[in-house]
A and B are shown apart, each in its own frame.
Chain A
Amino acid sequence: MIIEDYKKLVLPIKNKLFRFSLRIVGNVAEAEDVVQEVFIKVWNKRSELDTYKNIEAWCMTLTKNLSIDKLRSKHRRVDAFADTFDMPSEAASPYQVAATNDTMGRIGKMMTELPEKQRMVMQLRDIEGMSYKEIAEILSVTLDQVKINLFRARKAIRSQLLNSESYGL
């Protein structure tokens, strides 16, 4: 397979992978790195591509794994740094404060604060429009677990939205 053919095969899903990674790592540059890394891994296995039934689902699984690895190694680095210096924990910059005050920003923040699995299920279903079966395959969980996590994620966001309305936020 030549590079041009390969790009035609995988590039159509690049933005989906990017958004999924961004939802996990929360940083644009790192999410881009993850997508590039996924495409290089897949390129290195190009001779086996025929054996994969669903390349998109496979790429999404790779994206999930690499993003989680990146996030955990970042947490380890931050923890090690915090041991040495007094760092303000999770201090929001003025830009972040402004963004979270915005309604969209608030919902993004609510979603970011969801447990990892709920966040991933919500991203794949409500933003990427994937079927329950595809989500179960990507996350290596059962269909019931997909539905339970989705139910909990939606319930959490809904109750926060209703609370915000009650307090006039």
Chain B
Amino acid sequence: MDSNKIDHILEKYWEGESSLQDEAMLREYFSQEDIPAKYESIRPMFQFFKTEQASFLDGDFDERLTSKLKAVEATDNIKPRRHSLTVYIRRAAAVAAIFIGVLFVFNKVMVKPPSGLAMTEKAEAKLAYAEAKAALMLISKKLNKGTSKAESGIVMVRKATDVIKE
């Protein structure tokens, strides 16, 4: 191949602008025996790329992979049963948790009424107490009035009795 053409492709190659076809051409060119001396320093690089393309996995890899995949597949087949048992246990636990929660809330509501209600009853009790107290005070006042009248009556009776006796 023309050296000028190689120079041109190499220029593109170093700039990172060469095509895959250009690069394949360079690899082929530098694998030849007779090339100009000016390319000797870079020849090993293209030879290295070509050699590296021939690095392969060892022959046992496919067998090892097959047995590994079979093991994974076998585990997959067992998994669903285990999975369903786990799911049942989880579901039962969730239902139990909800039931306990409901019981707890129900208990709270029934045993201790909400504080607003408690306050109303307390206020009502206070009001009833005040009304009862007022009524009793009134009765007591009226009763006291009667006592003084009765006392004055008794005094008058005593005075009249004394007059009669004299």
Chain A residues near B (Cβ < 8 Å): 3, 6-7, 11, 14-15, 18-19, 22, 32, 35-36, 39-40, 43-44, 103-104, 106-108, 111, 125-129, 131, 147-148, 150-151, 154-155, 157-158, 161-162, 164-165
B49's nearest neighbour on chain A, judged by CB, is: A126
* A127→B52 contact, CB < 8 A: yes
Number of residue pairs across A and B with beta carbons under 8 Å?
A: 87
Q: Given the known inter-chain contacts A107-B45, A107-B48, please indicate yes or no for A131 contacting B16, CB distance below 8 A.
A: no
Q: Binary interface profile of B, 59-82, with partner A (CB < 8 Å = 1, else 0)?
A: 001101110111011000000000
B20-62 at interface with A (beta carbon < 8 Å): 20, 23-24, 40-42, 44-45, 47-49, 51-53, 55-58, 61-62
30 A-B pairs with CB atoms under 8 Å apart are A3-B66, A3-B73, A7-B66, A14-B61, A15-B55, A15-B56, A19-B52, A19-B53, A19-B55, A32-B61, A35-B61, A39-B69, A40-B72, A103-B44, A103-B48, A126-B23, A127-B49, A127-B52, A147-B16, A147-B17, A148-B16, A151-B14, A151-B16, A155-B14, A157-B45, A158-B14, A158-B42, A161-B42, A161-B44, A164-B41
B166 at the interface (CB under 8 A from A): no
Please tell me which one of the listed residues B20, B40, B65 contacts residue A129 in the complex, with CB atoms under 8 A apart: B20
Q: Is the interface of A mostly helix, strand, loop or mixed?
A: helix
* B24→A14 contact, CB < 8 A: no
Q: Is the interface of B mostly helix, strand, loop or mixed?
A: helix
A149's nearest neighbour on chain B, judged by CB, is: B16
Chain A to chain B: the 5 pairs with minimum beta-carbon distance, closest first:
A151-B16, A165-B41, A107-B48, A150-B16, A147-B16
Q: Which residues of B contact A39 (CB under 8 A)?
A: 65, 69
B24's nearest neighbour on chain A, judged by CB, is: A129
B78 to chain A, nearest CB (A): 15
